[in-house]
Amino acid sequence: MTIAAGLGRTVLRARRDTGFLAAGVLPHLALVPVWAWAATTTARTGNWLLTVSTSAVLVLLGTPLLTAVQRARHRVLIGVDVPRLALAAPERWTWTSAARWLAASRPWRKIGYHLLLGPPLALLELLVLAVAAASLAGVTAYAWSWALPTGIRLDWFGYLTQLPAYTAAGLLLLCALPSTARAVARAEARLASGLLGPSRAERLQERVDQLALSRTDLIEAVDAERRRIERDLHDGTQQRLVSLAVNLGLAMATRPDLPGDAREVIARAHLEAKEAIAELDDLVRGLHPVVLEDRGLDAALSGLAARTPLPVRLRVDLEERVAPHVESVAYFVISEALANATKHANAMRAEVMVRQVGEVLRVRVTDDGLGGADAAAGTGLTGLAKRVGSLDGAFHFSSPVGGPTTITAELPCAR
């Protein structure tokens, strides 16, 4: 059963590869009449300028059609996808933009494939088909020899001794046919992928663009999920805690006859509920403050500066609102930098500057604290650098011993 299954797969693969090669003969020879006509016409008339220009136009017009045929042939018959080069069309077609677009598409590779490699590939395909035909003719030598008229067989001297040799040669060629057809088909697929598809550098660049786009989508999805969590906490959990705190306060106010132990327990629960509300409020602000989504970065930073327990000088210079995920990262950097200045640096004052320069949002936070901040000491600087790096931004900090500490982030904000 295993031998039969393997033989069946070999036969199917050989039939597929041979059919693929047979389908490539005519497309590979399609441009032969063009340059044959150009050569004969030039030799006969001597008017090479008109002949060459006409044949060049025919080649340029026929190349896209032949390329599409070859792509379909590879995809349908052997399952090899020859990708297209993704080029954005210019917004305005001019001679300069058309020339740049044509140069970027590199049509000479396709022209070279169809015009120069086409005839040798067609010859190679015809050789493989000839081997297939000879192998079938040799294997069936006895059948077609007995189909000949009797007189021809009798006049064929030595046919009884030659037929076994024909049959053996046919069997040998038939055994070599699958590997030969497969090798030629693989070679053609590699040539087509290299000349009709994008180059390795172009494929890498296209992959980089796809990854950058998918990363941007992921960042936006994460930012949207963060906003959803903030809304759920603000509208759900926080409201329940507020209701709990109100009910505990009402219980103490309306039941003066409660025992002292019970009143103390209720008072402690009331205090813990209010502390939980305050902590949850800080957590919600840290995730994504509502004012950042509603009124933008300037208003959110004004509220952050007002809540910070040290004087903060804030300067925001924005031409327009940037993307929401850029606003979120900028707010996170400034919030963490001010928190570090308050908790770890013992700073007396801080300065925050946000400025949009072209397609870059520059954020700088400076404090007059003790300095000596170390990224490896658990001060959150590594997290800030990773958060900025997620947007392909640049993160720098300077914190000599004795201060001041300066944190700078440059975030791409092009929409």
Give pLDDT tens digits along the chain (415 positions): 465 666 778 888 888 888 899 998 999 988 888 878 877 877 777 777 777 777 777 887 888 888 889 989 998 888 888 877 665 555 666 666 556 655 556 677 888 888 888 899 999 999 999 988 888 887 877 676 666 666 565 555 455 556 677 778 888 888 888 888 899 999 998 888 888 877 677 677 777 777 776 666 666 666 666 666 666 666 666 677 777 777 777 777 777 776 777 767 777 777 777 777 666 666 555 555 667 777 888 888 888 888 888 888 889 888 788 888 788 888 888 888 888 888 777 788 889 999 888 788 899 998 887 777 776 665 567 777 877 887 788 888 888 887 788 889 888 876 5
Residue 259, SS3? coil
Identify which of 145, 168, 147, 149 has the alpha carbon closest to the alpha carbon of residue 158: 145
What was the pLDDT predicted at 321?
83
DSSP letter (8 states) at residue 349: -
Tokens of 287: 């995730």
Crossing angle between the packed helical segments 324-343 and 381-389, to the nearest 10 degrees: 170
What was the pLDDT predicted at 105?
60
What was the pLDDT predicted at 126?
93
Beta-carbon contacts of residue 361 (< 8 Å; ≥ 6 apart)? 318, 322, 326, 330, 354, 355, 410, 411, 412, 413
Task: State whether the Cα torsion 372-375-381-385 is positive or negative.
Answer: positive
- How many Cβ atoms from other residues are within 10 Å of residue 168's Cβ? 13
pLDDT digits (tens, 9 = 90+) for 115-140: 888 899 999 999 999 988 888 887 87
What was the pLDDT predicted at 151?
59
